[in-house]
């Protein structure tokens, strides 16, 4: 997309942004970028820790004289129009004259309520909290359409970046066999020393000269050998499945398999892997979402948790020309991999806000609950167990996530509605937590989920 018209902005529009969950991680990267963006102003940030907000705002260049802490609606009304406001109650954000609400708490209860409240008032919502979209996305998209507002996922996180890539392929008439992303951290091997490192910021390197035996891709047996060698580093990551849940609900693409495949692969190999079994790949069906672990050498660029699509090469001569340009294609010439090796978090997000606020782009009223992210017990869980979402990957101790087509999900309870839920029954290892195993009644996000199922 060419952003020139947005830069020219002859109508003098300004996006006035409010951010909930603003001071850390994703929120921080967005806060740091907004002052650099033409036609955008930060109006308000919300956090329970207003002192942290003040520290972050001054750290990124705002002066204390520009900032006003507002404990209530009256103080908001009295604050200067050009002040950056800090509030601790997310419900006050909608009272600050914003055009754009960015929600990045990861708290399903807060973000669903805040989003719905904003949309009903015609305020555009940019959802970073993928946990919320996984269960409320359909109804929030519908609410936006009904109230003349925009509801959008944001660039900088993998789902929106992948949706942009997928929609580009659809526009061009390409047949997408598989759409997916790499998991967050790379597997890195030094061919000279045999040292292997999992780049999660915590795992030290280990000597693994055996990697040389499966370094060159020879087919599915190579993937099996890598999996056996690196098994202790493998796992099903909640954030990965949740992100593919979001993409599935908008595109209609199904999960490649309930736990996704997670092959350990180099970028150059993807077009040989995410293709049908009969062509030498791993897919038993096409039109799917999937995830891989990126494998690279120390001097190779990272995939950076980026996104890819595998498309069919329908005109042999055309794709032979493109192969000559160096594009990633399967050995048999029938498939190509097109990819974005990045997701820049909040640095990218202003682009989503501007095309939403200025052009109305982002609403997907066709979004439906195509897939449901369930939680399967990885050990026997007794009645009375309190489930809790925690950690960097927003996982739940005792549960392994799986992504199921709605028709196969039965009564499985959505993963991110289980936070703080108490098991009413024993759940045996290997069994999903169902709606009969927890009491979600009275939970507003659950009510929104049920409404979404009716669409």
The per-residue pLDDT for range 324-372, each reduced to its tens digit, is 999 999 999 999 999 999 999 999 999 999 999 999 999 999 999 999 9
Among the listed residues 145, 164, 152, 172, the one whose alpha carbon sits nearest the alpha carbon of residue 343:
164
User: Which CA distances in Å does 73 have to 18, 267, 436?
Assistant: 15, 52, 42
The per-residue pLDDT for range 135-149, each reduced to its tens digit, is 999 999 999 999 999
Determine the pLDDT at residue 273: 98
Cβ of 443: how many Cβ atoms within 10 Å? 18
421: phi then psi, degrees, rounded to nearest 5: -75, 150
Instruction: Flag whether pLDDT at 22 surpasses 80.
Output: no
What is the mean pLDDT of the segment spanning 58-79?
Answer: 96
Cβ of 359: how many Cβ atoms within 10 Å? 12
Determine the pLDDT at residue 426: 98
Instruction: Flag whether pLDDT at 52 surpasses 80.
Output: yes
Asked if 60 and 31 count as a contact pair (C-beta separation under 8 A), the reply is yes
Instruction: Flag whether pLDDT at 96 surpasses 90.
Output: yes
Domains of the chain: residue spans and CATH: 4-156+346-359 (3.40.50.720), 160-343 (no CATH), 371-453 (3.90.1210.10)
Q: CB burial class (10 A; 0-12, 13-18, 19+) of residue 302?
A: middle
Helix (H) or strand (E) holding 244: helix 238-251
What is the mean pLDDT of the segment spanning 94-99?
Answer: 98
Instruction: Flag whether pLDDT at 10 surpasses 90.
Output: no
List the strands of the sheet with 100-103, edge to edge.
67-69, 84-87, 40-46, 15-20, 100-103, 124-127, 151-153
Cβ of 160: how many Cβ atoms within 10 Å? 28
Q: Which of 22-36, 342-356, 434-448 shows the lowest mean pLDDT across its residues?
A: 22-36
78: phi then psi, degrees, rounded to nearest 5: -90, -10
Give the Cα separation of 359 and 378 in Å (integer). 46
Instruction: Flag whether pLDDT at 323 surpasses 90.
Output: yes
Report pTM.
Answer: 0.97
Determine the pLDDT at residue 6: 86
Instruction: Flag whether pLDDT at 201 surpasses 80.
Output: no
Pick the residue with more confidence: 11 or 103?
Answer: 103
Instruction: Flag whether pLDDT at 203 surpasses 80.
Output: no
Q: Which of 177-191, 198-212, 374-388 shows the lowest mean pLDDT across its residues?
A: 198-212
For the chain, percent of residues with pLDDT exceeding 90: 93
**Paired sense of beta strands 187-189 and 195-198, if any:** antiparallel
The per-residue pLDDT for range 223-252, each reduced to its tens digit, is 999 999 999 999 999 999 999 999 999 999
Give the Cα separation of 25 and 360 in Å (integer). 27
User: Which CA distances in Å does 65 have to 96, 270, 311?
Assistant: 18, 53, 54
Determine the pLDDT at residue 36: 96
What is the mean pLDDT of the segment spanning 95-122?
Answer: 97
Among the listed residues 165, 152, 119, the one whose alpha carbon sits nearest the alpha carbon of residue 336:
165
The per-residue pLDDT for range 379-430, each reduced to its tens digit, is 999 999 999 999 888 999 999 999 999 999 999 999 999 999 999 999 999 9
Give the Cα separation of 448 and 445 in Å (integer). 5
Determine the pLDDT at residue 54: 94
Give the Cα separation of 119 and 137 in Å (integer). 13
């Amino acid at each position: 997309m060419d952003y020139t018209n947005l830069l020219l902005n002859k109508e003098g529009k300004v996006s006035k942004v409010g951010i909930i969950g603003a001071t850390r991680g994703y929120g921080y990267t967005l806060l740091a970028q907004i002052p650099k963006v033409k036609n955008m102003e930060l109006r308000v940030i919300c956090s329970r820790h207003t002192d942290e907000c003040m520290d972050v705002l001054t750290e990124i260049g705002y002066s204390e004289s520009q900032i006003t802490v507002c404990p209530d609606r009256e103080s908001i009304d009295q604050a200067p129009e050009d002040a950056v406001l800090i509030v601790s109650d997310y419900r006050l954000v909608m009272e600050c004259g914003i055009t754009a609400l960015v929600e990045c708490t990861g708290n399903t209860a807060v973000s669903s309520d805040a989003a719905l409240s904003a949309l009903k008032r015609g305020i555009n919502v940019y959802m970073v909290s993928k946990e919320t979209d996984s269960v409320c996305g359909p109804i929030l998209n519908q609410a936006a359409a009904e109230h003349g507002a925009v509801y959008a996922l944001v660039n900088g996180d993998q789902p929106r970046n992948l949706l942009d890539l997928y929609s580009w392929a659809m526009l061009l008439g390409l047949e997408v066999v598989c759409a997916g992303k790499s998991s967050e951290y790379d597997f890195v091997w030094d061919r000279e020393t045999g040292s292997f490192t999992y780049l999660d910021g915590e795992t030290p390197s280990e000597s693994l000269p055996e990697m040389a035996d499966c370094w060159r891709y020879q087919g599915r047996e190579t993937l099996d050998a890598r999996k056996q060698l690196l098994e202790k580093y493998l796992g099903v990551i909640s954030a990965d499945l949740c992100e593919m849940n979001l993409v599935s609900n908008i595109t209609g693409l199904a999960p490649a398999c309930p736990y996704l495949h997670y092959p350990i692969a180099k970028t150059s190999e993807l077009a040989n892997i995410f293709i049908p079994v009969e062509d030498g790949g791993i897919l038993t069906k096409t039109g799917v979402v999937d995830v891989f672990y990126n494998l690279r050498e120390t001097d190779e660029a990272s995939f950076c948790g980026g996104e890819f699509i595998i498309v069919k090469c329908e005109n042999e001569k055309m794709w032979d020309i493109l192969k000559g340009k160096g594009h990633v294609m399967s050995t048999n010439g029938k498939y190509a991999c097109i990819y974005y090796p990045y997701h820049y978090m909040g640095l990218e997000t202003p682009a989503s806000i501007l095309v939403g606020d200025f052009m109305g782009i982002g609403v997907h009223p066709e979004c439906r609950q195509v897939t449901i992210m369930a939680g399967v017990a990885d050990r026997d869980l007794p009645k009375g167990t309190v489930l809790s979402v925690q950690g960097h990957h927003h996982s739940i101790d005792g549960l392994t996530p799986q992504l199921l087509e709605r028709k196969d999900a039965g009564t499985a309870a959505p993963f991110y509605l289980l936070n703080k839920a108490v098991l009413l029954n024993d759940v045996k290892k290997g069994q999903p937590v169902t709606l009969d195993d927890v009491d979600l009644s009275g939970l507003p996000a659950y009510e929104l989920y049920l409404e979404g199922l009716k669409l």
